[in-house]
Amino acid sequence: MKVIGINGSPRREWNTAQMVESALKGAQAAGAETTLYHLRDIDFKGCVSCFACLKLGAPTHGRCSYPDALKPVIDDILSADALIIGSPVYFGDITAATRALLERLWFGGLAYDMSHFVLYTRQIPVKVIFTTNAPQEGFHTTLNESVVTTMSRFIGPTELIEANDTLQFDDYSKYDAAMFNVAAKQKRHEEHFPLDLQRAFDVGKKAVGEAAAV
């Protein structure tokens, strides 16, 4: 059983990374082998419209084959038993790196033919994790729905969890962020973020159970 984790944040050790790592620990507790990729460490592009994934009869048909450092990551995802992907929400959207990955992952399985719209022949459970400074869960409804719907169509049944009202800085006094009540942010982080990490751990375990049932 193999579970792939993707950290789509430019920060390797902050909220999103911790949530993805906790989910992978849950998967490990359920008996899975795990691999974690930090997108910030990978030199890659979004879709370049080469259309190799659509070329009939070609060995590249039905999979993104653009030859950069992301290709083996996509191959790893498509051979895995479950996927856990996390991103902070910036201006109501996922990070640019996460969007670029999803372009490559989703387009690689797309056919412009309603008789076989999705080219991937297997599905795996997906857990999506959003971290956000927004005050309550579900704040980014349109984004949540679009990612869950598209991921469910191309990769497999998708579940979303969020960590909201997150702590952005270790020391707010160093940054131009006077609008925040620092004491309240710190208090919430201390009280709620451990619960968010536990939820991530639980969905990681759940992903393994769902993959085993497929």
- 73-111 pLDDT, tens digit per residue, is 999 999 999 999 999 999 889 999 999 999 999 999 888
pLDDT of 214 > 80? The answer is no
pLDDT number for residue 135: 79
State pTM to two decimals: 0.92
What CATH number has the domain spanning 2-213? Answer: 3.40.50.360
Which has the closest alpha carbon to 166: 203, 126, 137? 137
pLDDT number for residue 94: 95
- Rounded CA gap, 159 and 135, in Å? 20
Higher pLDDT, 114 or 29: 29
User: What is the chain's Cα-based Rg?
Assistant: 18
Residues of the chain above pLDDT 90, percent: 69
pLDDT number for residue 178: 82
- Mean per-residue pLDDT, 57-71: 92
Which has the closest alpha carbon to 129: 45, 6, 2, 14? 6
pLDDT number for residue 87: 97
pLDDT number for residue 14: 93
CB contact set of 109 (below 8 Å; sequence gap of 6+): 53, 62, 63, 118, 119, 120, 154, 155
Provide the pLDDT confidence category of residue 167 given band limits of 50, 70 and 90: confident
Higher pLDDT, 140 or 162: 162
- Rounded CA gap, 113 and 101, in Å? 23
Higher pLDDT, 172 or 6: 6
User: What is the chain's mean pLDDT, rounded?
Assistant: 92
Provide the pLDDT confidence category of residue 187 given band limits of 50, 70 and 90: confident
Provide the pLDDT confidence category of residue 141 given band limits of 50, 70 and 90: confident
**Cβ contact 207:33 at 8 Å:** no
pLDDT number for residue 140: 78
Higher pLDDT, 70 or 92: 70
- Mean per-residue pLDDT, 167-176: 86
